[in-house]
Chain A
Amino acid sequence: METERRILTREAFDSLLQKAVAAGQRAYGPKDLDGRIDFAPIARLDDLSTGHVQTTQSAKFALFPKVEELFSFHREGNAQVLDEATEADTPETLLLGVRPCDAAAIASLAAIFNWDTRDPQFNRRLARTTVVTITCTHADEYCFCTSVGGGPGNSTGSDLLLTPLEGGTYLAEVLTARGQALLALVPESSTPANAVDKESRLACVPSRFTAETVTAKMAVAFDREGLWREQSLRCLGCGACAFVCPTCACFDISDESNGIQGKRLRTWDSCGFSLFTKHTSGHNPREVQSQRWRQRLMHKFVYMPDRLKVLGCVGCGRCSRSCPVDMNILEHVTKVAEVK
């Protein structure tokens, strides 16, 4: 089915946003927060930052928030009563201005959360999230989406894919029913797009490696203790890379309670922390940071493709940009790929 392509004027885009917000959708988009570009609630198109390459944090908060209630409980005598949020509590979310790599990341998250059993919390949020992606007109040296099956104009995971044209107008590719429904909010103001050359406006992201070679080589490189130790000597074992990453979905489950009532919560976690695998007895299968750094790369480039048939990395470069000690995943992956 040929993707429907329309031209969306700036005013139409702005009125589409305002109507969506008026209809009760929480709208988030990249905003300049005193120098740092990150997702924040937006009400008008002027709030949206457009000159940036990528936001600091990913958009996964809409599908997998940093703190989420799984269910709540309260005591009655020595009995407990459980209750949980209903469908109505799940908000409708409009993600505006994510990049193609973020949209592609949804497939990795969905693969994890729906492997074998389906995660209801994730699926309810996914069903109520509309993804309006803006293609990349420029990239930086951290980006490597083209090496992991993506690209600056890739449409995977998007409901509506916008490419900026002159004068603030956008080429809008309508990819899903949700995208259709969103565009229907401004029926009169979007006109069919004639031959608009999208490719020429996209950023150039040179391909650095092919995922297949990295997956094969990394599995072989597993036992090269020296390689992993040398790469991770400067790694401090914090969670910044995992928490800004659009495809990291590891989580912790813990209770918050005042003794009478409480909640069981799901929170972000990271394989970079030593507590992630540490037994109560003190035994820790991953004792040193090189094992944890190796797990991060092996999980994304070897175990996930092997088990879930999807890579655990979309090449957005956020982990490298946010790392306090400049651990650069692209550099490390290409080094592993060169292992003989």
Chain B
Amino acid sequence: MAEFEPRIVAFVCNWCTYAGADLTGTSRIKYAANVEIIRFPCTGRIDFMLLLKAFASGADAIIVSGCHPNDCHYTSGNFHARRRWMTFRSLLDYLGIDVRRVQFSWVSAAEGAKWAEVVNSTTAAVRELGPFTGYRQLAGAGIELGG
């Protein structure tokens, strides 16, 4: 069977992690191409529903990354995000969703290397876990055929 290549969606904040990812590129640091980056003004703007939608449309893992505490361009976006993820991650775990498939990190604009490490380690870990079919199968289920 062809080697399973996880599909990872990264929700990142524009001011820190996105700039950090740029730095990773300009510093010629190689990192796994499995990640699709979606840019947000701030981690505070990332709605938890988007993570569910990413899983439903085929993501095997998700990375959410933004500014370190006190670096937020909007002062408190990341603080609000932290409380949201503390609550949301605990709920996902309670529901039996593998929280290793949702990685959270602070990556500043200067931490190009850290961004590469976050992506590479997540890709490797999820390659072990395999595809997240459990979630995707829900979409097709429950519809009576034979209309």
Contact = CB atoms under 8 A, between A and B. Distances in A.
> Are chains A and B touching directly in their complex (CB below 8 angstroms)?
yes
Interface of A: 65, 67-71, 84-85, 87-91, 120-121, 124-125, 256, 258, 263, 265-266
Contacts of A266: 147
A70 B146 CA distance: 9
**How would you classify the secondary structure of chain B's contact residues: helix, strand, loop or mixed?**
loop
A68 B139 CA distance: 14
A121 B144 CA distance: 11
B144 A124 contact: no
Contact of A67 (B57, B139, B143): B143
10 tightest Cβ-Cβ pairs between the two chains A and B: A90-B146, A89-B146, A121-B147, A65-B144, A89-B145, A68-B144, A85-B145, A85-B146, A85-B147, A69-B147
Interface residues of B, number: 8
Contacts of B144: 65, 67-69
B142 interface: yes
Contacts, number: 36
27 contacts: A65-B144, A67-B142, A67-B143, A67-B144, A68-B143, A68-B144, A68-B147, A69-B144, A69-B147, A71-B147, A85-B145, A85-B146, A87-B146, A88-B146, A89-B145, A89-B146, A89-B147, A90-B146, A90-B147, A91-B146, A120-B147, A121-B147, A124-B146, A125-B146, A256-B139, A258-B57, A266-B147
B143 A263 contact: yes
Contacts of B142: 67
A124 to B, nearest CB: 7
Interface string B103-132: 000000000000000000000000000000
A256 to B, nearest CB: 8
Contacts of A124: 146-147
B143 A265 contact: yes
A65 B139 CA distance: 17
Given A90-B147, A91-B146, 17 more contacts: A67-B142, A67-B144, A68-B143, A68-B144, A69-B144, A69-B147, A70-B147, A71-B147, A84-B147, A85-B145, A85-B147, A90-B145, A121-B147, A124-B146, A256-B139, A258-B57, A263-B143
